[in-house]
């Protein structure tokens, strides 16, 4: 995913109705994210700057991991994405 408008995606995320994670949960999710990003870098599959910004935004907004996954799938217009999720695919944001 390149050229992401993270602020436009943030606005859509903020419009969703979901239970945000607690401070402790978000701290745990950030720790797991850091490990995952480190593993990707080791495998020479590091995220782009936009992708880092997107994942940081999802944590800033306290989005639970299962919903974050659905948001990513919807952004990518993936067939497994929840069609009812009110997130605009990346190609339509350009």
Q: What is the pLDDT of residues 5-46, one digit of tens each?
A: 999 999 999 999 999 999 999 999 999 999 999 999 999 998
pLDDT at 82: 94
Per DSSP, the three-state class of 64 is coil
Q: Can you read off the two tokens belonging to residue 90?
A: 């990346």
Closest by CA to 92, choosing from 75, 70, 79, is 75
Q: What is the pLDDT of residue 24?
A: 97
The more confidently predicted of residues 92 and 27 is 27
pLDDT for 27 = 97
- The helix or strand, by DSSP H or E, that contains position 69, with its residue range, turns out to be helix 65-75
Instruction: Write down the pLDDT at residue 3.
Output: 78
Give the ranges where 22-64 is alpha helix by DSSP (H). 23-42, 49-60
Confidence band, pLDDT 50/70/90 cuts, at residue 91: confident
């Amino acid at each position: 995913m390149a050229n992401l408008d993270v602020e436009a995606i943030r606005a859509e995320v903020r419009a969703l109705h979901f239970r945000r994670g607690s401070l402790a949960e978000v701290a745990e999710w950030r720790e797991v994210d850091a490990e995952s990003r480190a593993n990707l870098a080791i495998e020479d599959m590091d995220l782009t700057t936009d992708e880092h910004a997107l994942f940081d935004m999802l944590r800033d907004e306290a989005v639970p991991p299962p919903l974050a996954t659905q948001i990513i799938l919807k952004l990518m217009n993936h067939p497994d994405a929840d069609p009812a999720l009110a997130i605009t695919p990346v190609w339509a944001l350009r």
